[in-house]
Structure 1
Amino acid sequence: MMRKSRRTPRRPAAALAASLAALALAATACGGSGGDAGGDGGPVTLTYWSWLKGQKEAVELFNRTHKDVQVRFEEIPAGANGGYDKISNAVKAGNAPDVATVEYAMLPAFVTQGVLKDLPSAGASTVKGRYPASVGELVTFGGRTWAMPRDIGTMVYFYRRDLFDKHGLAVPRTWDDYKAAAEKVKKADSKARLGSFLTDDPVLLAGLSWQAGARWFGTQGDSWKVAIDSPESRKVADYWQGLVDKDLVKAQSATDPLTQSMQKDEVLSVISGAWNAGVLKTLVPGQSGKWAVAPLPSWDGKPASAGYGGAGAALTKGTAKADKATAFITWLNNSADGIRAQLSSGTSSALPASPDLVPVAAKTFDTAFYGGQDIYKVAGDALGTMPTGWAWGPAMAATNTELKTGINAFTSGSAKLADALAAAQGKTVAELKGRGLSVTS
């Protein structure tokens, strides 16, 4: 975290420029971790840290098929569970890996803190040419590209086909349809509900706001623009406020309570990212063949999705092997062999952020749980309907903490859900100003 400045608030471009200057200085002053080509002409050695499934298998394949570069892989805790602290501390200590996994929502913070190094031109060109604009925008800011996208959690609608048939429900195409179906389910079964509002996951609220056209962060002139408490976000909040107030959905945690409700046939559908297809197989294995996937309901019935999770591979500050590291992450996240190796277990439903690789991923996933449905077709189509213009902010930890507090107040009945947006807006603006950044809202 940047220290609070008593000087004139810095502009977003100036803040990024300062980070870039520091990164450039570090790159020329010191080498990255791992050995470069030795005096004996041996291969360049890169180090790679990640917590994602399939990375060890992918690295092993890369090492077998590449002789000039070898990669040492280390599994670390998930980012929010200590992984990000480990990466940040390693950069400060001068012993960081060359490459690390970073989720899209964390990238702006890591860039402004000077943790990462921007990709060379070859990597930037790959991102521009191989990914949809809605994905490229998540890793490109300040005029630089900061990661090679791996997957994107396009939001889709998971539902129990058998229970929909039982209650005579059609898959909702609009949010009005969703509300009508929720009323029908409650009337037919007092214990069951169509879905849930997750009380411990503010990223879901962000994704639904994104789908509705909100743009929580951006720049305006010389300032960061923060628009969490926007009309689009309030529209989403008021909608879910109404569903919860009328007891049409369950307000519950995304962990055990939701799983137990699904196991008891008391939750008929789930709004989530494409990655959840593999998770459901683990949580409710006895319901194999009963689930299906559909596009996310939208406000006007036209296809519209959004991002709910996803990560890329980034270069850390100080690596002296940016070109080799970029070649590795391009192979890792932008080749059929790399994606196939990462998903070789057959249990992950991660959706490649590059549309060209979606068919490759589809062949690795056993669709029996979904009655043979091509779930990657649904998720892949959703990728093309994600609105452009979304950006994460440089203080998402503070933003999400405030949103969680507000959501808890909402579910306890002491506040409105829209109040959480207003509180998060205020907290985020104060946090950015405290870091010496100019902010408008």
Structure 2
Amino acid sequence: MSTPPRRLRGRRLLPLAVTAAVIAPLAACSAPADEGPVTLTFQTWVPGIDQAVDLFNEQHDDIQVELQTIVSGAEGGYAKMLSDVQAGNPADVAQVGYDQMPTFLLNGALEDITDYVGDEVDVFSDWQIGATTFNDRVYGIPQAAGPMGLYYRSDVFAEAGITEAPATWDDFYAAAVAVRATAPDRYIAAFAPNQAAWMEGLAEQAGEPWFQVEGDAWKVAIDNPDTLRMAEYWQRLIDEDLVKVQADLSSEWFADVQAGRIVSWMSGSWADAIIRNNAPETSGQWSVGLMPQWDEANPRSASWSGGSANVVLKGSAHPEQAAEFALWLNSNLDSVSLLTENGAGWPAIADVDSIPSIQSAPEVFEFFGGQDIWDVFAESSEQVARDWQWPPLVDALNASLLDEVAAAVESGTPLTEAYAAVQERMVAEMTAKGISVAD
């Protein structure tokens, strides 16, 4: 077996109440090679990942991987994964979002793979391997993230007298006013009450994190001053009719993007494909910039829903081989290039300059007016907040956020009150589940 990794920078701490369920011996090492190749099952929703799996199978005689395509999300794949673990028949490897890792740990559903991967995890960026590491133990191999940026119609911005991406939120407000003046039905962006991940990204970038560990308890600070400042900012944009309250990725939203009525979108690095595939006639009219900053001297970004990892589910008959496959899938350059090209997200390895599909993407660059947009997302990834931590019960968090923000928008209640209500609901949810919450 490999030697354990050194102390990992950017690791996550979890209260003992969360980690107690996963303090168990590692499964035994693999069976002798003369018993034949090991067959692993891999559950994932990532499009095009079959190409990388096929490449692994071609290059490995001792391990073969069978792909199982599942539905993403709490009510689809995650529910099946957890129920299969409880039933004692889990897949070997599974796709799990960074935001779901604490919940899976709380349910005792992840194998500790630290001793199987050793120092080989050093190839990954600090913040992404940190997202899968708890109390200095590795529970997953990071695959990809969605560092956020600002996609914008540079032609419309130019019409409004804006020559570059807004550097600060004050600049974004001024741009919103200028864009609104160019046409009666045109808005700089949509305020999307249907997107918990988008709202969480705005809060992550705003400053103080919502959840942190204090000893054996969780500190919950959803209604912190930085988040309330962000909420007040967007409330002003809504009140002054400078953004359109609209569900993004809806039919209406797509129509507005295609017609130039919505002319920017703060989203993850993977969103370029959504824009290119749904508004092909706007080719050459888009650019990408970093998220506007609250403090230019201390740039800060966020990653849409964090990202996702490949984990070894508790009860796998072949945890060592499963860890080997997950590590290869996300560190082998041919595999990572395929994943990136097929839209899996921003790669987890630190040396993105070594990835062929990052260095040459002529179709992407042409659509964005010749801009190498990956330079922007490389910078955004470096600026992703290191202190943001996902809590257990993230599904309850998302549901509370969507409920309260939608209700506030509909009733005209200030958004700040919505975040205060989410704070109360999450403290109550966590307490009811026996999770210690700091005063």
Q: Which residue is equivalent to 2:275?
A: 280
Map residues 321-340 of structure 1 onto 2, 5 A cutoff.
321-340=318-337
- Matched-pair contact (CA < 8 Å) for 2:15–2:218: no
Classify the secondary structure of the residue corresponding to 1:154.
strand
Unpaired segments ≥5 residues, structure 1:
1-10
Map residues 198-277 of structure 1 onto 2, 5 A cutoff.
198-255=192-249, 256-277=251-272
Q: Identify if the C-alpha distance between structure 1 residues 223 and 413 changes in structure 2 by more than 3 Å, giving closer, same or farther.
A: same
Q: Which residue is equivalent to 2:36?
A: 42
Matched letter for residue 69 of structure 2 = E
- Matched-pair contact (CA < 8 Å) for 1:217–1:228: yes
Q: Identify if the C-alpha distance between structure 1 residues 37 and 176 changes in structure 2 by more than 3 Å, giving closer, same or farther.
A: same
Q: Which residue is equivalent to 1:355?
A: 350
- Matched-pair contact (CA < 8 Å) for 2:287–2:368: yes
Q: How much does 1:342 deviate? A: 2.3
Deviations 1:244-285 (A, max 9, x none): 111111111012222111112111111111110111111211
User: TM (normalized to structure 2)?
Assistant: 0.90
Q: Identify if the C-alpha distance between structure 1 residues 322 and 357 changes in structure 2 by more than 3 Å, giving closer, same or farther.
A: farther
User: CA–CA distance in 2 between the matches of 1:39 and 1:323?
Assistant: 13
Matched letter for residue 354 of structure 1 = I
Q: Identify if the C-alpha distance between structure 1 residues 84 and 349 changes in structure 2 by more than 3 Å, giving closer, same or farther.
A: closer
Q: How much does 1:233 deviate? A: 0.7
State the identity as a percent: 35
User: CA–CA distance in 1 between the matches of 2:41 and 2:383?
Assistant: 36
Q: Identify if the C-alpha distance between structure 1 residues 124 and 400 changes in structure 2 by more than 3 Å, giving closer, same or farther.
A: farther
Q: Identify if the C-alpha distance between structure 1 residues 389 and 153 changes in structure 2 by more than 3 Å, giving closer, same or farther.
A: same
Map residues 19-98 of structure 1 onto 2, 5 A cutoff.
19-21=21-23, 23-24=24-25, 27=27, 37=31, 40-98=34-92
Matched residue count: 420
Deviations 1:265-318 (A, max 9, x none): 111111111110111111211111111111111112343211113111001001
Q: Which residue is equivalent to 2:292?
A: 297
Classify the secondary structure of the residue corresponding to 1:47.
strand
Map residues 176-191 of structure 1 onto 2, 5 A cutoff.
176-191=170-185
Q: Identify if the C-alpha distance between structure 1 residues 114 and 382 changes in structure 2 by more than 3 Å, giving closer, same or farther.
A: same
Matched letter for residue 152 of structure 2 = Y
User: CA–CA distance in 2 between the matches of 1:45 and 1:387?
Assistant: 38
Matched letter for residue 427 of structure 2 = V
Please, which of 158, 169, 178 is the counterpart of residue 165 of structure 1? 158
Classify the secondary structure of the residue corresponding to 1:190.
coil
Q: Identify if the C-alpha distance between structure 1 residues 246 and 319 changes in structure 2 by more than 3 Å, giving closer, same or farther.
A: same
User: CA–CA distance in 2 between the matches of 1:173 and 1:378?
Assistant: 13
Classify the secondary structure of the residue corresponding to 1:339.
helix
**Is 1:143 equivalent to 2:136 in the alignment?**
yes
User: CA–CA distance in 2 between the matches of 1:312 and 1:39?
Assistant: 28
- Matched-pair contact (CA < 8 Å) for 2:156–2:179: no
User: CA–CA distance in 1 between the matches of 2:14 and 2:436?
Assistant: 7
Q: Which residue is equivalent to 1:6?
A: none
Please, which of 15, 18, 26 is the counterpart of residue 16 of structure 1? 18
Q: Identify if the C-alpha distance between structure 1 residues 126 and 211 changes in structure 2 by more than 3 Å, giving closer, same or farther.
A: farther
Map residues 378-417 of structure 1 onto 2, 5 A cutoff.
378-417=376-415
Q: Which residue is equivalent to 1:306?
A: 302
- Matched-pair contact (CA < 8 Å) for 2:97–2:309: yes
Matched letter for residue 25 of structure 2 = A
Q: Identify if the C-alpha distance between structure 1 residues 358 and 106 changes in structure 2 by more than 3 Å, giving closer, same or farther.
A: farther
- Matched-pair contact (CA < 8 Å) for 1:358–1:380: no
Q: Identify if the C-alpha distance between structure 1 residues 133 and 363 changes in structure 2 by more than 3 Å, giving closer, same or farther.
A: closer
Q: Which residue is equivalent to 1:372?
A: 370
User: CA–CA distance in 2 between the matches of 1:351 and 1:358?
Assistant: 12
Map residues 415-434 of structure 1 onto 2, 5 A cutoff.
415-434=413-432
Matched letter for residue 135 of structure 1 = Q
User: CA–CA distance in 1 between the matches of 2:70 and 2:64?
Assistant: 19
User: TM (normalized to structure 1)?
Assistant: 0.90
Q: How much does 1:13 deviate? A: 3.1
- Matched-pair contact (CA < 8 Å) for 2:270–2:344: yes
Classify the secondary structure of the residue corresponding to 2:389.
coil
User: CA–CA distance in 2 between the matches of 1:394 and 1:364?
Assistant: 39
Matched letter for residue 374 of structure 2 = Y
Classify the secondary structure of the residue corresponding to 2:347.
coil
Q: Identify if the C-alpha distance between structure 1 residues 223 and 37 changes in structure 2 by more than 3 Å, giving closer, same or farther.
A: closer
Matched letter for residue 295 of structure 2 = D
- Matched-pair contact (CA < 8 Å) for 2:14–2:134: no
User: CA–CA distance in 1 between the matches of 2:283 and 2:138?
Assistant: 41
- Matched-pair contact (CA < 8 Å) for 1:340–1:364: no
User: CA–CA distance in 2 between the matches of 1:279 and 1:419?
Assistant: 33
The 10-residue stretch of structure 1 (179-188 or 132-141) with the greater mean CA deviation from structure 2: 132-141
Matched letter for residue 280 of structure 2 = P
Q: Which residue is equivalent to 1:5?
A: none
